[in-house]
Structure 1
Amino acid sequence: MRRIIAYLVRFAVILIGYVVASLAASAFLNALFLGHFGYAPEPGHPTIAPALYFSVPFVALFVAYFGFMPAAVVILIAEVLGRRDWLFYALGGAVIAVVFLGFAHNVSDGDFDITGTNARLAIVGSGMVGGIFYWLSAGRWAGTWRREPLLDPES
């Protein structure tokens, strides 16, 4: 019974880590595109905070949606292999972003393709930031459910 609870707790930690990673990647994308369009407000500007309070979670929904399947594969590999280093997760986030870019290129709708080099690099960078934030929130304990013996009291 303790083993099942350990699995459920680890699954909850993975989900929380995925939410944190999606929010971090979204915040990074928002910051890059605000800077790209020349919007550099002074500290305490009254319009930037409410706009980011709405746009960061909204963009995070799309980040989480489009990155779910490749992220599930990377997370599964990390859990099975017990990878706990930040570089694995940063490169995994970059791979997830490249898979998304490949999907966007191969979809039949031509308006969905991302052709600008700066936009492609921003997406790969946001994938790396998301991977690092996943490592910070959940990846540092990857594979612990397999290494610690959890004996049931009745055994």
Structure 2
Amino acid sequence: MRRIIAYLVRFAVILVGYVVGSLAASAFLNALFLGYFGYPLEPGHPTIAPALYFSVPFVALFVAYFAFMPAAVVILIAEVLGRRDWLFYALGGAVIALVFLGFVHSVGDADFDVTATNASLAVIGAGMVGGIFYWLSAGRWAGSWRREALPDLEA
């Protein structure tokens, strides 16, 4: 019974880490595009903060949606291999972003394709930031469910 609870707790930690990674990637994309369009990211700016309160979670929904399947593969590999280093998750986030860019290119919709080099690099950078924030919240304990023996104690 304790083993099942350990699995469920690890699954919950993975889900929370995925949400944190998606929000971090979204915040990174928002900061890059606001800077690109000339809006300063000042703490006292009256219009930027309310816009980010809506924009970051909204864009995070799309980030989480499009990155789910490749991220599930990377997370599964990390859990099985017990990878706990930040570089694995940063490079895994870059791979997830590359899979997304390949997907949007293969769809064939010209309006959906990311063709600008700056935008492609922003997406790859966002994937790396999301991977690092996943590592900060959940990846540092990857494979912990396999390492420690949790005997079932019958009372």
Give the TM-score range, shorter chain.
Answer: over 0.9
1:36 aligned partner: 36
- In the TM superposition, residue 45 of structure 1 has moved relative to its aligned partner by 1.2
Moved more, 106-115 or 85-94: 106-115
- Structure 1 residues 95 and 41: CA distance shift in structure 2, 3 A: closer
TM-score by length of 1: 0.98
1:47 aligned partner: 47
The answer as to 2:104 corresponding to 1:104 is yes
Q: Deviations over 1:58-90 (max 9, x none)?
A: 000000000000000000000000000000000
The size of the alignment, in residue pairs, is 155
2:74 aligned partner: 74
The answer as to 2:3 corresponding to 1:3 is yes
Q: State how far apart, in whole Å, the 2-side matches of 1:41 and 1:78 are.
A: 35
- In the TM superposition, residue 108 of structure 1 has moved relative to its aligned partner by 2.6
TM-score by length of 2: 0.98
1:83 aligned partner: 83
Ranges in structure 2 where 5+ consecutive residues have no aligned partner: none
Partner SS state of residue 112, structure 1: coil
Q: Which amino acid aligns with 1:48?
A: I
The answer as to 2:141 corresponding to 1:128 is no
Q: Which amino acid aligns with 1:37?
A: F
Q: State how far apart, in whole Å, the 2-side matches of 1:124 and 1:51 are.
A: 23
Partner SS state of residue 150, structure 2: coil
How many percent of aligned residue pairs carry the same amino acid?
86
Q: Deviations over 1:34-63 (max 9, x none)?
A: 000111154301111110000000000000
- In the TM superposition, residue 154 of structure 1 has moved relative to its aligned partner by 2.0
Runs of 4+ in 1 over 3 A off after TM superposition: none
What CA RMSD, in Å, does the superposition of the two structures yield over aligned residues? 1.0
